[in-house]
Amino acid sequence: MMETYTGKVGRIIYQKDDFLIAKFSTGDDDMTIKGSIYGVEQGEELTVYGEWEHHPKYGKQLAVERWERPIPQTEEQAIAFLASPLIKGCGEKQARQIVARLGAEALQRITNEGEDCLLPIKGIGQQKARKIVDSVRSTFEVQNIMAELMVYGITTNMAMKLYKEYGSNTVEVIKRNPYNLTELNLIGFLKADEIARKIGIPPSSRYRIDACVDFVLKEKCYTSGHCYLPKDELIQETERILNHNTDEKVSANEIARSLYYLADRKLVIEDDCVYPKSLYRYEKDLARKLSEMRGSRDGEAMPLVENHIKWYQKQNNIVLAEKQREAIRKLFREQLMILTGNPGTGKTTVIRAMLDIYKKIYPDHDVALAAPTGRASRKLAEVAGHEASTIHRLIGYRVGCEPDFNRDYPLPHQLIIIDEMSMVDVQLAFLLMDAVRTDAKVLFVGDVDQLPSVNPGNVLKDMIEAGLPSVKLTEVFRQAQESQIITNAHRVNQGKPLLIDESKSDMYFIHQEDPEKITQLIVKSALRFRQLGYDTADILILSPMKKGPIGTQILNQKLQQALNPPHPTKKEWKIKTTTFRQHDKVIQTQNDYTKDVFNGDVGIITDITQMTNDEGDKVDVLICNFMDREVVYTKEDLKQLQLAYAITIHKSQGGQAPVVIIPVSTSHYVMLARNLIYTGMTRAEKRLVFIGTKKAMNMAIQNNRISQRNTRLAQRIAVAETAAKEVIL
C-alpha cells in the first residue's frame, strides 16, 4: 500500500545518476529511503510516496515511487530554499533580501512574475535575476513533469534530459509522441514502444510506424556496416517488429506509405535501396570527389622520378622490388593512389621511399600523414619518420560540429597519406575527401584482408573494385619469411592450416578445449611473459567477443586480479561493476579532443587523487599515462575508459604489441572467421600465442564468408566518371 511521508534527507548512503539511498527523518521516525530521486541534498525537505520493503543490508526501507519538494510556506523555509544549491546565483544574504521584499510567498511570486519582481532588489541585475527565476521555475516544473512521466516508466534522468529539450511542453510532447525519446537517443524503439502502450498510443499510429522504420534502418546499417537496406527487407523486418505481441496488425502497405512519407526527411529511396539520409549523402558525395580527382593526372615530375628512385636506393643501400618502384611511379603520375599488401611485403619501406623522394622533388610542398585512430597514427609516425595525426584531428572534426576544413576551406597539404584505410567508414572518408583540395595527391594505404570498418561502408574494398589506381605488394621479403607470425598470417589468408615449428620461440599453439581452462592458461601465459621481462603494456590479449567464458569482460576481471591485485598501497575506484586501480591497463573508447586522447589509445593508471578545479573546489580525479603524457579524468569521465588487459580484435585494429595472446574456441563459433583471426595475428610483433583447439582454428580459417555489406560506392564512382566524360565530349 502506498504510504506518504514528509521529512528531511539525512546521510546519503549511495547516489548514482538518478538513484539514491539515504537516511530519512520525519521527526517521529527515522527510516531509509531508496529510489529514482534526482539532485537532492542532505538536509533538504521532501515528501516521498512509496511502499515498504525489506533490504538484506539496510533492513526496512521505503521504495520511493515518486517524490516532491514541498513548496515553502514560511519565510524561513523560503530563505532556506533560495539559499540551497538548487537555486543558481543566490546565496543566503541574497535570499534574505528577496524574502524581506517579497515575503513568504517569494517563490510563488518569482514563478508568476519572473525577473520583474527581483530587479528592484539591490545587487540583483538582469543576468542574476534570470538565473534565479530559471532555477525556481525549473525546480518545481521538473518535479511536476517527473511525477507525470514516471508512471509510464520514464526515469528521472530521462525526464531531466527531456525537460532540457522541450521545457514546459515536455509532458504534452511525450504524451502525443513518446517515440521522441528515440530521437534524443534516450532509449531504443522497443522501450519507447512499451512506454507508448502505457500512454495509450494505438499500434497503428503513424508515429509508431515511422519510428520503427527509422529504428530498423539505422539498427541494421550501423550494426552490420550497411549503407542501405533493400526496400523489401526493410518492410519485412519492420512488419515483424511492429506485429510482435499485438493483436492489431500493421500491414506492409502501411509501412510502405511510411517509407515514402519519410523520404527526403529521414531517408532516401533509390532503385529500391533505402538509405538513412546522411549515409546517402556521404556515399554520393564521396564518389563524386573520388571520381573528380581520379580524372586528374600529374606526370610533370615523371622524368625526375627514375633518377630519384636510383638516388634513394643508393642513399639507403637497398634495392626496391619492382612492385615497390611501380608504386612510387604511380604516386607521381596519379592524384589518387591505393597501396595494399599483407604483412612483410614492404609497405613501410615504400612509404618511407615515397616521402623522401617527394620531399626531394617538391621541397616546398606541405605533407600530411594520418590514420583513423590515435594508436595507428603514432605507429605511422614512428615507421615513416614524419609527424602524423588522426584523420579527425587533421580535418578538425568534433562530434556534433562541422569540421574546420571542408570544400570551402580545404586542407593546405599537397600530399596526404592515409594509413589503415580498411578501418575508415563512409562518413569519415567523405569528411576527409571533402576537405582535400582537388590538386592534392592522396595515398591510401591498407590491407583489404583485415576486418572492415566498424561503422557503415567498405570504402577501401569499394575504391579498389571501382578501379581507382592501385598497387598491391605481393613479395614477402626474406627477413619477414623468417617470422612464423608473418608466414602463418599469409597461410591463414590463403585458407591453409597453421604450420608451427616448436623449436622456434615466436609462435605457440596451446591445446585446451575447456573454456574455463583456456581462461586460466591465458592468465598463466600473461604472468609467464611478465616473468620473461615483458611489461603489462607489452602484452595484448585479444578475444573475438566481449561476453562468454573467454570474452573480454571475464578475462579483464581475471587478468586484473592476477597482474594487478588489490593492495593497501594501491588506490582504486569502483564504478558500477568495474574497479579501476592504480597500475591498471585501460583503453580510451571515444575521441576526446579536450584531453587529446583518442578511441583505441591504451594507457596505464598512475594515480587516484584530488585536484582543485577552476572554481577552487577539491575534486576526485584519476590520472592515466598515455605514451608518457598524463591525462586527468573525473568520475563522470570514466565512461570513456575500459580495462584493457583484454580487448576485442576489432578494438585492436591500428595497433600492435610485442606479445599477443588469442583464445580460439568453438564457444565463440559465431565469430570464427578468417579475417578476424588474420587481423588478430597481424597485431603481434614478437610473440604470438593461440590457446584453444585446432578444430576452432580450422573452422575460422575455412570460414571466408565475409558478410556482404550493402554499398554502392564502387558503382557510383563508375557512374560519376562516365557522366564526367560525357560532359567533356
Residues at the annotated binding site for ATP?
A: 344-348
The residue count of the chain comes to 729
Cell of 402: 562541422
By DSSP bridging, strand 3-16 and strand 45-55 are: antiparallel
Cβ pair 498, 488 in contact under 8 A: yes
Cβ pair 359, 304 in contact under 8 A: no
Annotated binding site: 344-348
Q: Which amino acid is at 545?
A: M
Short-list 580, 578, 530, 556, CA closest to 644: 556
Rounded to the nearest angstrom, the gap between the alpha carbon of residue 429 and the centroid of all alpha carbons in its chain is: 17
Short-list 646, 644, 662, CA closest to 603: 644
Cell of 76: 524561513
Short-list 463, 214, 441, CA closest to 328: 441
DSSP 569-603: TS-EEEETTEEEETT-EEEE-S-BTTTTB-TT-EE
Burial of 547 (0-12, 13-18, 19+ CB in 10 A): exposed
Q: Which amino acid is at 306?
A: E
Cell of 252: 506492409
Cβ pair 324, 353 in contact under 8 A: yes
Q: What contacts 669, CB < 8 A, 6 or more positions away? A: 696, 699
Cβ pair 350, 320 in contact under 8 A: yes
Rounded to the nearest angstrom, the gap between the alpha carbon of residue 420 and the centroid of all alpha carbons in its chain is: 18
Dihedrals phi, psi of 288, to nearest 5 degrees: -60, -45
By DSSP bridging, strand 267-270 and strand 273-276 are: antiparallel
How far, in Å, CA of 537 to CA of 605, rounded?
A: 11
Short-list 710, 724, 720, 729, CA closest to 279: 710
Report the run of H or E that residue 446 belongs to, with start and end: strand 441-446
DSSP 470-489: EEEE-PPPHHHHT-HHHHHH
Cβ pair 459, 426 in contact under 8 A: yes
CA-to-CA separations, 118 to 102, 105, 692, in angstroms, rounded: 9, 13, 73
Q: How far apart are the first and last CA of the chain?
A: 83
Cβ pair 423, 410 in contact under 8 A: no
How far, in Å, CA of 211 to CA of 219, rounded?
A: 12
CA-to-CA separations, 14 to 59, 185, 610, in angstroms, rounded: 15, 27, 20
CA-to-CA separations, 529 to 507, 525, 647, 660, in angstroms, rounded: 13, 6, 18, 10
How far, in Å, CA of 459 to CA of 507, rounded?
A: 33
Alpha-carbon Rg of the chain, whole angstroms? 31
How far, in Å, CA of 205 to CA of 258, rounded?
A: 11
DSSP secondary structure code for residue 74 in this structure: S
DSSP 264-286: TTTEEEETTEEEEHHHHHHHHHH
